[in-house]
């Protein structure tokens, strides 16, 4: 079964909008696991506009499933955080400072030397690595060269085109997934996956190990409740 990792950035955004500790980020992470989430994902950014670096240290104390931390390692502060916390997985994302949300994957060919060196550091500390990439065969081939354990498909194009032509939208992801399997690279996916499009993605993308979902899942929880929503997403992955 593909694992569901719940991204709790939006919970931190809501908390930070009023100050204080409501909603309680740590308690919600524990609840997500209790309700069936198989992982917790956070993406601390340099400006700490949602997840704070202090949150990551506190989450490490309570997360009992897989802990996935996303971010751009160009900031030494981020690298130091990962090495101190030692999450289950670090996902390298090429975000620029102040970027609203992730909008592209790494060029694993152009940045081969940098990524290879960075990944080696994390792996030497026993941390599983994943690299955010587009569904491009050249980028998947490049991922093999940099030594990453996994790649995470950036799925916004799939989500955007799903309602127009879902067969066309899924094709590059299915092809890239097959190549990843041939190269013995693990496969994750995330960005704009939802109750509407997740089942089809799971059915046509082979060897999918994990999906990381935040915005859509937290939004759905406003209507369906957090526990029910997590189970609804889990059912899409069965």
The pLDDT score that the predictor gives to residue 155 is 97
The pLDDT score that the predictor gives to residue 104 is 73
Residue 50 annotated as catalytic: no
- pLDDT tens-digit map of 29-74: 999 999 999 999 999 998 999 999 999 999 999 999 999 999 999 9
- pLDDT tens-digit map of 159-214: 999 999 999 999 999 999 999 999 999 999 999 999 999 999 999 999 999 999 99
Residue 191 annotated as catalytic: yes
Label residue 47 exposed, middle or buried (CB < 10 Å: 0-12, 13-18, 19+).
exposed
The answer to whether 129 and 123 are in contact (CB under 8 A) is yes
Give the pLDDT band of residue 130 (cuts 50, 70, 90): very high
Q: What is the mean pLDDT of the chain?
A: 95
Residue 111 annotated as catalytic: no
Locate 135 and state its tokens: 């569904």
Catalytic one of 33, 66, 70, 210? 70
Mean pLDDT calculated for residue range 73-88 = 96
Sketch out the chain's domains with CATH numbers: 3-236 (3.20.20.70)
Cα 81 to its chain centre, rounded Å, is 17
Catalytic one of 33, 50, 191, 210? 191
Catalytic one of 43, 50, 66, 152? 43
The pLDDT score that the predictor gives to residue 98 is 55
Question: Distance (Å, rounded) from C-alpha 125 to C-alpha 62?
Answer: 21
Label residue 20 exposed, middle or buried (CB < 10 Å: 0-12, 13-18, 19+).
exposed
Helices (H), the chain: 9-18, 25-34, 53-62, 76-85, 112-124, 137-146, 156-182, 198-204, 215-224, 226-236
Give the pLDDT band of residue 148 (cuts 50, 70, 90): very high
- pLDDT tens-digit map of 88-126: 999 999 976 554 455 578 999 999 999 999 999 999 999
For residue 220, is pLDDT > 80? yes
């Amino acid at each position: 079964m593909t694992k569901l990792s719940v991204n709790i950035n939006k919970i931190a955004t809501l908390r930070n909008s009023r100050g204080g500790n409501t909603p309680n980020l740590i308690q919600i992470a524990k609840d997500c696991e209790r309700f069936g989430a198989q992982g917790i994902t956070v993406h601390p950014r340099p400006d700490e506009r949602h997840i704070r670096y202090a949150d990551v240290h506190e989450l490490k104390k309570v997360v009992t499933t897989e802990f996935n931390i996303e971010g751009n390692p160009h900031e030494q502060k981020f690298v130091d955080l990962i090495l101190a916390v030692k999450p289950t997985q670090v996902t390298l994302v090429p975000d620029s400072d102040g970027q609203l949300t992730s909008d592209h994957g790494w060029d694993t060919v152009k940045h081969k030397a940098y990524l290879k060196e960075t990944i080696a550091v994390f792996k030497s500390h026993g941390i599983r690595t994943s690299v955010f990439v587009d569904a491009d065969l050249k980028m998947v081939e490049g991922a093999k060269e940099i030594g990453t354990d996994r790649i995470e498909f950036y799925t916004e194009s799939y989500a955007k085109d799903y309602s127009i032509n879902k067969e066309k939208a899924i094709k590059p992801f299915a092809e890239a997934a097959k190549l990843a399997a041939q190269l013995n690279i693990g496969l994750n996916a995330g960005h704009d996956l939802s109750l509407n499009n997740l089942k089809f993605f799971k059915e046509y993308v082979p060897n999918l190990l994990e999906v990381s979902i935040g915005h859509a899942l937290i939004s759905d929880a406003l209507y369906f409740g957090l526990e029910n929503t997590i189970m609804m997403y889990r059912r899409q992955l069965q």
